[in-house]
Amino acid sequence: MPTPHVRPPSAESLGEAPGRGRLAGRRILVVGGGQRTFDPATDPIGNGRATSMLCALEGAAVAVADYSLASAQESVDLIARDGGTAFAIQADITSEDDVRRMIDEAVAGLGGLDGLVLNVGIFGQTGLRTFDLAEWDNIVATNLRGPMLCCRYGLDRMDDDASIVFVSSIAAKKAGSQLVAYDASKSGLAGLARHMALEGLTRGIRVNTVMPGLVDTPLGRLTTAGRPERASAKGPFGRQATGWEIAYAILFFLSGESVYVNAQTLAVDSGVTGL
């Protein structure tokens, strides 16, 4: 591959672009809207927090759900600082009861639901023989079973013509991460998303998937700590993505700009999966 040109970040890449009202009046639940902590002093923004903040910036009322209530509340506080409307929900999406309660709280707090972002993902050991079955089961329960439960209880509560966005990973397409359980769970999202798009057809509920590549987030830095070679992987644009760049792809699928786009996957990876 040719030596990459370093693609300079835009105002959108840095979270500095103004809102344009693209989600005005919308009611969005972001599952995984907090973020991990790797180094509080230097952590960049994660995909979920950036998505929560961007939805609010674009005019939506946002329910921010996360396993950590404190992390969800941090996202809500940042939204409030910028004049947006949001509230936090604690939920463990491996728990059916928690998912049911989360949907109930989101619908009650927002006054309805016409957007759902499923930004969840955990990983474990690399390789085939290094993890135990409990780790495998937990990863699959979080990354695949959890989104299924969110759709099972969320679809019927959503308004007609709503939008669901799955957040997957290019690990669903490439085995380079060596994270067997993570890769398998993210690959499974493709089949789940297709079925959810079919379920939503009669009510105009669109279901699409954003598939990030290498992103500089706290979770990404945690991954790099276990696999230092990841730090040198820059991709065709000569750098890793920002959480904001993933959030803008999610925003497209939530907004009316993608009203005729359904059951599709968008890789936000600077071309890694296409070149």
The pLDDT of residue 12:
98
Structure tokens belonging to residue 79? 């939204």
The pLDDT of residue 71:
97
- Residues contacting 73, CB < 8 A, separation 6+: 64, 88
What are the angstrom distances between the C-alpha of 119 and each of 6, 16, 142?
A: 27, 22, 11
The model carries a pTM of 0.94
Domain boundaries, the chain: 27-268
**pLDDT string in tens for the chain (275-residue length):** 566 678 999 999 999 999 999 999 999 999 999 998 888 889 999 999 999 999 999 999 999 999 999 999 999 999 999 999 999 999 999 999 999 999 999 999 999 999 999 999 888 777 777 888 898 899 999 999 999 999 999 999 999 999 999 999 998 888 767 788 888 999 999 999 999 999 999 999 999 999 999 999 988 787 777 666 666 667 899 999 999 999 999 999 999 999 999 999 999 999 999 98
The pLDDT of residue 230:
64
The pLDDT of residue 104:
98
Fold adopted by 27-268: Rossmann fold (3.40.50)
The pLDDT of residue 141:
95
The pLDDT of residue 227:
67
- Please say whether the beta carbons of 267 and 274 come within 8 A: yes
Report residue 141 CA to chain centroid gap: 16
The pLDDT of residue 256:
97
Q: Which residues are catalytic?
A: 182
